[in-house]
Amino acid sequence: MLIQFKCANHRSIKEEVKFSLLASTDDSLSENLIVSDTGNKYLRCAEIYGANGSGKSTLLNAIQMMSAIVQKSNNYQPGDKIIRTPHKLSLPNTPTVFSIIFIKNGIKYSYGFSYTEEGILEEYLYYWPGRKKAMIFERTQKSDFEFGDGFKKDGENCRGRIKNNKLLLSCAANETSIKEITEVFLFFKEDLVIYPGEPNNWFEYSVSQIQNNQEMKKLFINFMNSIGSDLVDIRAKIEQRTLTQKELTIFGMQSLPFPIQQLSNQKVNIISLKLDYGKFVIDINEESAGVQKLFKFLCPLIDILHSGKVFICDEIETHLHPSIVAEIVKRFCKNIDSAGQMIFTTHDTDLLDLDYVRRDQIWFTELKPEYRSTDLYSLIELKNIRKGENVKKGYISGRYGAVPMLNGNFMEDENAKR
């Protein structure tokens, strides 16, 4: 469960921004909250609005970048640069900084690091085994590190193996048997589910689930029926075999990133998905982009809800009808049996409704003109916002910022030039 994420010097984010899923003292819509064993309350869902280019996608990309570095860091070779995209107006040696606080299996962790292309500058990992915070490790001066009490012996396995361009977390996850470090690494690898993102196998995963999991298939059909589809059955099949000569010919007519000869003597996954609407059956490739998108991530969404993971999605409404997006958001917000969370960017103002989401669930990004840098804030931080306010109207009118500054009618401007 994600609690907080901070970032500085990444793409349009120059100065540090803080995104939090810790609930405010607002007492509305309590079913939208996850209550931890310690009584703390966290948001199930958060929606992020802002003008094009204001930094909505950058925030989600920062989470994705941090996760990717954690997972790939231990594979870096000497001399490899660490990928980063600093703000264009930052000084060359200004580090990029990521930090995150989350709960996994009932334990709260705080992890973060700062880095440049040349290497890791600082890194830390703390946890709360009880009420007090304790150190798992701290790293300063690139390769110098110290493990906390209870972790020192195992932590020494990293001595001599850690390089400037490698994270201590990634090294320790491979070189030690420290349970807490494994849990943190797996949070990034398994619990943060980012769409679109790597691995890009969402469609194959969904087909496999429908083929092998009858309960998942039933839930999928029920969801489709709940949004007005008359879907009766799904015929899904993944078969691993070598391609026939006819199939090779068909693939050869398409643009592929590898020589067709590579497929001629090896087994590949052949996916077949047919939708049965009672009166006719249709192949998934004949369906609309919206239905195809649903098949790409609806099964993973169901899995995320059931397993309590964090779903992160950029522009969730793309190819989807607003009522479908609203239904997905509703299921995350109201599912009191799940600790699953969803964070998404959107331009769909119909979701700005305080009958369904709380003020602390609505976030905005705005580009500050002085340094063209992203500012991030939630609706709850703004003054004089009543619980019953028409937030959609207020946002469109520019009351909360985070909207394009339109300077008249561009057609009128063009006519004036002539």
Please, what are the domains in the chain? 1-196+314-407 (3.40.50), 202-306 (no CATH)
| Model pLDDT for residues 170-213, shown as the tens digit of each residue | 999 999 999 999 999 999 999 998 887 654 577 888 888 888 88
Query: With helix as H, strand as E and coil as C, how does the chain read?
Result: CEEEEEEECECCECCCEEEECECCCCCCCHHHEEECCCCCEEECEEEEEECCCCCHHHHHHHHHHHHHHHHHHHHCCCCCCCCCCCCCCCCCCCCEEEEEEEEECCEEEEEEEEEECCEEEEEEEEEECCCCCEEEEEEECCCEEEECCCCHHHHHHHCCCCCCCCCHHHHHHHHCCCHHHHHHHHHHHHHEEEECCCCCCHHHHHHHHHHHCHHHHHHHHHHHHHCCCCCCEEEEEEEEECCCHHHHHHHHCCCCCCCHHHHCCCCEEEEEEEEECCCCEEEHHHCCHHHHHHHHHHHHHHHHHHHCCEEEECCCCCCCCHHHHHHHHHHHHHCCCCCCEEEEECCCHHHCCCCCCCHHHEEEEEEECCCCEEEEEEHHHCCCCCCCCCHHHHHHCCCCCCCCCCCCCHHHHHHHHC
Place of tokens 């099949």: 237
What is residue 296's predicted lDDT score, i.e. its pLDDT? Answer: 79
Sheet strand arrangement including 341-345: 192-195, 310-313, 341-345, 45-50, 362-368, 373-378
What is residue 253's predicted lDDT score, i.e. its pLDDT? Answer: 46
Residues of the chain with pLDDT under 50: 199, 253-258, 260, 410
What is residue 134's predicted lDDT score, i.e. its pLDDT? Answer: 97
Q: What is the dihedral of CA 100, 312, 303, 361, to 10 degrees?
A: 80
Kindly report the backbone phi and psi dihedral angles of residue 124, in degrees, each rounded to the nearest multiple of 5, phi listed first.
-150, 155
What is residue 245's predicted lDDT score, i.e. its pLDDT? Answer: 64
Q: How many CB atoms lie within 10 A of CB 214?
A: 9
Measured between alpha carbons, how far is 75 from 163 in angstroms, rounded to an integer?
A: 11
pTM: predicted TM-score of the whole model, two decimal places: 0.87
Measured between alpha carbons, how far is 403 from 395 in angstroms, rounded to an integer?
A: 8
Q: Is 234:217 a contact under the CB 8 Å cutoff?
A: yes
Q: Hey, what amino acid is at 257?
A: P
Q: How many CB atoms lie within 10 A of CB 23?
A: 21
Largest CA distance in the chain: 78
Burial status of residue 123 (CB atoms within 10 A of its CB: 0-12, 13-18, 19 or more):
buried
| Model pLDDT for residues 97-124, shown as the tens digit of each residue | 999 999 999 999 999 999 999 999 999 9
